[in-house]
């Protein structure tokens, strides 16, 4: 038997282990109908985010980059009934589609979407002085990642996780001479993770419809 392509393996593993239900598949379909770009995490990655939040016993999760709410639904499902997920989204249109998806998933009381640039929403969130977050998922503009890491460090409890998607960028992250601002953003993000004594981190390389990429996971000590 020949070696299966990653798409076949992904389909096999997703149907075997991930268990995407109607609310999740409808969230993807609604985002597609609304013309949103197909750049949400994969079902297997969504399940990983869910498992990380569940393992942490998370009550509070912060997401930077909502899109249609697909990853937010996964993470919110790991929270208790009185849990809270704050998701920051720049585009009002994306936030509107996400709100519909979150309502259909029965998560209105848990998920709060804040519309605006994350660089403006994060200082406001910090100024509110609420409880610290157990987990942050960074999945927005890559140039903003280094600043999002600084805010996430302020907003995450000791023992919590800061997770960031798309940090390998087809392998370009290893190219120190790259002039691509997205590559520079994720490279600087990983350098900050490596250098900060408050963090211990790693990167899981991934393959998916968006190509070869990676997910950074860092624990706040
Ligand atoms: C990769 S998508 C998020 C996917 C989502 N986390 C999921 O997996 O379902 C990135 C999102 O970040 C949003 N975004 C981009 N720049 C942003 C910014 N400066 N502040 C807040 N959101 C931003 C985009 O509009 C887009 O909806």
Per residue in 89-121, pLDDT tens?
999 999 999 999 999 999 999 999 999 999 999
Q: Which residues of 19-53 are buried (b: 16+ CB within 10 A; e: fewer)?
A: ebeebbeebbebbeeeebeeebbbbebbbbbbebb
Tell me the C-alpha distance between 72 and 82, whole Å: 16
Q: At CA 144, angle to CA 84 and CA 118, rounded to 5?
A: 40
Percent of the chain with pLDDT over 70: 99
Contact between 161 and 205 under an 8 Å Cβ cutoff? The reply is: no
Contact between 88 and 66 under an 8 Å Cβ cutoff? The reply is: yes
Ligand 1 centroid vs 51 CA: distance in angstroms? 21
70 lines ligand 1 (CB under 6 A): yes
87 lines ligand 1 (CB under 6 A): no
Q: Which CATH class is domain 6-220?
A: alpha beta
Tell me the C-alpha distance between 186 and 163, whole Å: 12
Is 2 a residue whose pLDDT tops 80?
Answer: no
Burial class (CB in 10 A: 0-12, 13-18, 19+), 161: buried
What average pLDDT does range 181-196 have in this prediction?
98
What average pLDDT does range 169-176 have in this prediction?
97
88 lines ligand 1 (CB under 6 A): yes
Per-residue confidence (pLDDT) for residue 208, from 0 to 100: 84
Per-residue confidence (pLDDT) for residue 28, from 0 to 100: 98
Work out which ligand 1 atom sits closest to the CA atom of 65: 12
Helices vs strands, H then E, count in the chain: 8, 7
Q: What band does 195 get if pLDDT is binned at 50, 70 and 90?
A: very high
Whole-prediction pTM value?
Answer: 0.98
Q: What is the residue-averaged pLDDT of the chain?
A: 97
Give whole-number Cα distances, 21 to 73, 74, 87, 111, 157, in Å: 11, 11, 22, 19, 31
Per-residue confidence (pLDDT) for residue 91, from 0 to 100: 98
SS3 state of residue 2: coil
Instruction: Identify the H or E element spanning 160.
Output: strand 156-165
What average pLDDT does range 131-147 have in this prediction?
98
List CB contacts of 22: < 8 A, sequence separation 6 or more.
Answer: none
Ligand 1 centroid vs 27 CA: distance in angstroms? 15
Per residue in 16-39, pLDDT tens?
999 899 999 999 999 999 999 999
Q: What band does 210 get if pLDDT is binned at 50, 70 and 90?
A: confident
Per-residue confidence (pLDDT) for residue 209, from 0 to 100: 82
Ligand 1 centroid vs 2 CA: distance in angstroms? 38
Is 127 a residue whose pLDDT tops 60?
Answer: yes
């Amino acid at each position: 038997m020949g070696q299966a392509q990653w798409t076949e393996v992904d389909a096999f593993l997703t149907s075997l282990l991930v268990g995407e239900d109607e609310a999740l598949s409808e969230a993807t379909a609604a985002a597609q109908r609304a013309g949103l770009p197909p750049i949400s995490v994969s079902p297997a990655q969504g399940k990983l985010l869910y498992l990380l939040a569940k393992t942490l016993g998370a009550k509070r999760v912060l997401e930077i980059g909502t899109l249609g709410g697909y990853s937010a639904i996964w993470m919110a499902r790991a929270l208790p009934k009185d849990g809270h997920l704050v998701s920051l989204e720049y585009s009002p249109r994306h936030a509107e589609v996400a709100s519909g998806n979150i309502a259909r998933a029965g998560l209105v009381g848990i998920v709060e979407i804040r519309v605006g640039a994350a660089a403006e929403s994060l200082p406001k969130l910090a100024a509110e002085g609420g409880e610290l977050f157990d987990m942050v998922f960074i999945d927005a503009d890559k140039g903003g990642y280094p600043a999002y890491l600084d805010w996430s460090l302020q907003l995450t409890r000791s023992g919590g996780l800061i997770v960031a998607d798309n940090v390998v960028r087809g392998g370009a992250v290893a190219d120190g001479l790259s002039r691509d601002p997205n590559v520079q953003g994720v490279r600087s993000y990983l350098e900050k993770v490596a250098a900060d004594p408050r963090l211990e981190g790693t990167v899981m390389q991934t393959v998916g419809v968006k190509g070869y990429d990676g997910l950074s996971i860092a624990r706040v000590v």
